[in-house]
Structure 1
Amino acid sequence: MDVDRETLETARRSLHGVAELVLAGPQYRQSGTIRLRIVRGGFGTVQDPDLRVNGTELVVGGREIPMNGTTCRELAAAARVDAGGAGDVYKDGSGVGLDETLGVEAKAVEYIEECLVRGHEALAGFAPNTMPVLWPEHFDVGISLDEVNYGVSLGDAHLDEPYAYAGPWEPRQGSFWNASFGAVRPLRLFPGADALRDFFVEARDRAAHDPHCP
């Protein structure tokens, strides 16, 4: 990864803000869902309004609006949507303000979107009948299957780098489960989608057989 940590963190925070305040919030007010999806080059809404992020640009119809150096309020105005989050649907979020200047350096964005695509591909291979969702709350791509959450996070207070996770709704005992909410592994440890899928497979098997925490 040929990008420094500060630039990467700025891009991650900025994209999270756009996902939450420009895509998910307006979509929730218009169509009643906060779910987003991974698309070629980035991510987008699943229902109206039809918006997507492609690299460092917000795409609205045939228009491409550069995001770097602008704000979520300005982007929403250019896209003709009502900027803002989804109210009290969830408590956490990006922490990005509507007038915060966004920093989306191209190489950092490329790396972030590569992580999202890897997560989407691994989840689709692991559970082909379940559509992965990009959630705006924590900006992670994931699924729920048999009362276990699986996914890829771009990093947060728990682990400040992209990581894969598996979180049983009821905690399990055993060395595999190395986090309070389940199991996490840095994404850099997985050489490709197959290895990442294998982690989800192992997590599913262990969740089915490991004892529940008392």
Structure 2
Amino acid sequence: MLGDLLSHGFDLAQYVVASVREVTALTETFIGSRPAPVGGGVGHQAHGDLDGDLLPVENEDYAAVLARLDGGAVATFESSRVAVGPRCGYGIEVFGSLGSARWDFERMNELEVCLGPGDAGYGFTRVLTDGAHGEFGRFNPGGGMGLSFEDLKVIEGAQFVTSVLTGEQLAPSVADGLQAARVAAAAEASAVDGLWHSVVPRGGVEGR
């Protein structure tokens, strides 16, 4: 859960808010054994033969992380591999004193925004993607149609190629991925001893 699913949340938080400074975490394995995998599978859709041999589960079914971020913000991260209901739910909620925003991957072409108590229509307002949002106009002529997962991969590929050709980092970098992995490693250590663990800062070196 930490290295697979929550690593994306750590990366998303550092992109939207700030880098994670320290964490405390807990993990749990609810299902102690599962059937051995049969054949191939796509992503998380692989499954085992229910009549096959049971093998011990070696990774967690659930993880929760409480974190302090640079600048004073605090964050909570939670993910479950066995929760019933979400098909591909992966969301972020950012709450501030002047406004808030929330987004979920299952409705990735929508953003909910609240501008705060001073707003005449106080409460969350649904914002649909259109030509004013990034590269949307290259794929759709009108707002509200939405981009697909494949469209986003094309945009990522274009950013990567442009970064290589120009030498300017446009897309997430290897350093971003490393930082998310550092948060996951600190959370894994915390899940073992129950203590707060500092995250090696960007540009820092492990073991120092």
TM-score norm. by structure 1 comes to: 0.27
Greater fraction helix? 1
Greater relative contact order structure (CA < 8 Å, 6+ sep): 2
